[in-house]
Chain A
Amino acid sequence: MVDSHATLVAIAMMALIVYLTRMTGYFIGLQLRHIRGIQPVLEALPGCAFMAILAPAVRQGSLSEIVAMASVIFIMWRSNNVVVATGVGMAILLFGEPYLDAH
Chain B
Amino acid sequence: MTTRESALLGIRTSSDYFLSTFIFGVMFGIAAAAIGIEGWEAMLMSASSFTASGQFAALEFWQAPLPLGTIALSVFLVSTRNLLLGMAMTHHFDGHSLRRRIVWLFLLNDPGVVNSFRQEAEVDRLGYVTGYGVSMMTSWLCSTFIGLKTAHLFAALDLGAVDFAGPLVMATMMMLFFKGSKSPPTPWIVSGGVALILYELGSANYLILLGSVTAGMVTAIVQVRRAYG
Taking a contact as CB atoms under 8 Å apart, the answer to whether A7 and B37 are in contact is yes
Q: How large is the interface on B (under 10, 10 to 19, 20 to 34, 35 or more residues)?
A: 35 or more
Q: State whether the Cβ of A102 lies closer than 8 Å to any Cβ in chain B.
A: no
Taking a contact as CB atoms under 8 Å apart, the answer to whether A97 and B161 are in contact is yes
B199 surroundings in chain A (CB, below 8 A)? 55-56, 59-60
Contact for A76 among B66, B162, B172, B192, CB less than 8 A: B172
Q: How far, in angstroms, from A28 to B86 measured CA to CA in the complex? A: 8
Binds A, one of B1-9, B67-75, B143-151: B67-75
Complex: chain A residue closest to B46, CB-CB? A11
B75 surroundings in chain A (CB, below 8 A)? 13-14, 17-18
Q: How far, in angstroms, from A47 to B209 measured CA to CA in the complex? A: 12
How many A residues face the partner with a CB closer than 8 A? 74
Q: State whether the Cβ of B34 lies closer than 8 Å to any Cβ in chain A.
A: no
A25 surroundings in chain B (CB, below 8 A)? 82-87
Measuring CB to CB, which residues of chain B are less than 8 angstroms from any residue of chain A? 15-17, 19-20, 23, 36-38, 41, 44-45, 48-51, 54-55, 58, 62-66, 68, 71-72, 75-76, 79-91, 93, 101-102, 105-106, 108, 110, 113-114, 117, 161-162, 164-165, 167-179, 181, 183, 185, 187-189, 191-193, 195-196, 199-200, 205, 208-209, 212-213, 215-217, 220-221, 223-225, 227-228
